[in-house]
Amino acid sequence: MTTVDSSGYAPEWLRLREPADAEARAADLVDLIPRKTPMVIRDLGCGTGSLGRWLSGRLPTPQRWILHDLDPRLLEIAARSLPHPTTVEAVDITRLTDLGDTTLVTASALLDLLTANEIRRLVQSCADSRIPALFTLSVTGAVEITPPDKADAALSEAFNNHQRREDRLGPDAVAFTAQEFRSRGWTVHTRPSPWRLGADQQRLITTWYQGFVAAAKEQDPKIQVPNRRITSVIVHHADLLALP
């Protein structure tokens, strides 16, 4: 993978998951971010701006947001949704070198899409400019489905292996990123940030499960898929804050 492109993510899916994302993120990590003003925040792979909407009210003002994505549809939605001045850039975020006057680098549901080399470059860019980084909602490889089925372990294994295609780190990304920052002498804080989806989120459960199964079957076409109606699911993620 040479670029990170959110074009595979329809705005409808991003809107559907936004409430669960907001509930899951580790808000206490925001309290550890240095309060340097004015704040200039780069949101990498911003999608429709979900992270910006969640984070902007938790940071001091004034703020300026620089939104990065390769999908112009998503950039337009994101730029309209933030109450602060914004700039949009359709660039390959894994090759950013000049972070200018940035005071915080952020991303949501991104690290698991990157390769080891892409993460190294991203970490080095932050380290060179000594800019804190907050990465939220990276998958860690574990799911808990109710009612459970004996096929769940095989489904999860196939899904995780699918996440690792094209040398992406998938569920290993948070641990790898943490080690890259720590090897440069940075302080790293991590928190669990699981989706906890119940009966009132049936549409999200169904949509997530369809994608989960489709990826698993693409990885292993012979895998068995149980016939069941899921009542709840926990999808495990982790948030990471790196500070110089």
Which is it for strands 104-108 and 39-44: parallel, antiparallel or unpaired? parallel
**pLDDT the model gives residue 86:** 85
Mean pLDDT within 90-97: 73
CATH number at residue 185: 3.40.50.150
Q: Is residue 219 part of a domain?
A: no
Give the pLDDT band (50/70/90) at residue 9: low
pLDDT at 84: 84
- Compute the distance between CA of residue 168 and CA of residue 211 in angstroms, rounded to an integer: 18
Task: Write down the pLDDT at residue 6.
Answer: 36
Q: At residue 1, does pLDDT exceed 60? A: no
Domain presence at residue 213:
no
Lowest pLDDT segment from 21-25, 90-94, 160-164: 90-94
Give me the domain span that covers residue 13: 6-142+168-196+234-243
- Answer whether residue 149 is part of any domain: no
Domain assignment present for 209: no
- Beta-carbon-side half-sphere exposure of residue 198 (alpha carbons within 13 Å): 2
Q: What is the pLDDT of residues 152-162, one digit of tens each?
A: 999 999 999 99
Quick check: is 1 in a domain?
no
Confidence class of residue 100 from pLDDT cuts 50, 70 and 90? confident
In a domain, 58, yes or no: yes
Average pLDDT, the chain: 92
Query: pLDDT category, 172, cuts 50, 70, 90?
Result: very high
80: in domain:
yes
Total domain count, the chain: 1
Rg (the chain; Cα; Å)? 18
Q: How confident is the model at residue 89 (pLDDT cuts 50, 70, 90)?
A: confident
Task: Kindly state whether residue 163 falls inside one of the protein's structural domains.
Answer: no
User: What is the bridge-based pairing of β-strands 133-146 and 104-108?
Assistant: parallel
